[in-house]
Copies of this chain bind each other. A is one copy, B any other.
Amino acid sequence: VITSDLGDESALSPTERSTVRRHPDRAQADRRALDAVLDSGLLAHVGFVDESGQPFVIPVAYARDGDRLLVHGSTGSRLLRHLATGAPACVTVTHIDGVVVARSAFNSSMNYRSALVFGSFRRLEGDDAAAAVDVITDHLIPGRVSEVRANTKKELAATMVLALDLSEASVKVRAGGPSDEPEDLEAPVWAGVVPTRLTASTAEPGDSRAALLPIPESVRTLIAKLS
């Protein structure tokens, strides 16, 4: 039931853990679909398991860098230190695209696009880590790296950067209107979709110095992306 419109080399691996079981019709199996979900998100939810078997789900900034997903943070972060050991992880990025209002409560739903990436992170070092930090910054604020000073050695030393291969993932999408029961169609009840999206419309200067400066290109690009 899982379909791919690209060749085998770009298909996502259909392993046990990455196989979509509920609504397999909503599964997408190609790298283009995965990249689209990852590239348009700002925040991922990273899942890991502690020593006692307790799962944790933590929101993090991230970026896709070719065939890998990057996260970063303080070298003191418990999350990053745990992930750096190669512990099994699941990274989920979800876009809420709409509320689906059906003629029955039962058929009400949400439109969304979600990507789950499975695997183990590895720590990046040296130039690879420094370049990865820039990729994450430019993912969050497109082009910002060229507008600000380079990260210092001290800042880089305080930053842990981790990468996860995009070799095992699943993408699930629900789009379109409600699926009503045939017997509900006659009822004089409105049904449809309320599209939702994460938006931005303004840039607020942080202080009086910034208020005197023009809004930089990176920030204008970010706002355009979220308009």
- Chain A positions within 8 Å of B, measured between CB atoms, are 17, 21-22, 42-43, 45-50, 53-59, 61, 73-74, 76-79, 88-92, 94, 96, 98-99, 101-106, 108, 110, 112, 114, 116, 118, 133-134, 137, 140-141, 144-145, 147-149, 151-152, 155, 159, 177-178, 180, 184-185, 187-207, 209-210, 213-216, 218-219, 222-223, 226
Given contacts A57-B116, A94-B59, A141-B99, contact A106 B151 (CB under 8 A): yes
The DSSP consensus for interface residues of chain A is mixed
Give chain B residues whose Cβ lies under 8 Å from the Cβ of A46.
Answer: 57
A124 to B104, CA, bound (A): 21
Contact of A148 among B105, B192, B226 (CB under 8 A): B105
- A23 and chain B: residue at smallest CB distance: B74
Question: Are A194 and B210 in touch, CB under 8 angstroms?
Answer: no
A67 to B220, CA, bound (A): 42
A214 to B192, CA, bound (A): 12
Contact of A105 among B134, B185, B194, B202 (CB under 8 A): B134
Question: Are B89 and A55 in touch, CB under 8 angstroms?
Answer: yes
**Distance in Å: Cβ of A114 to nearest Cβ of chain B:** 5
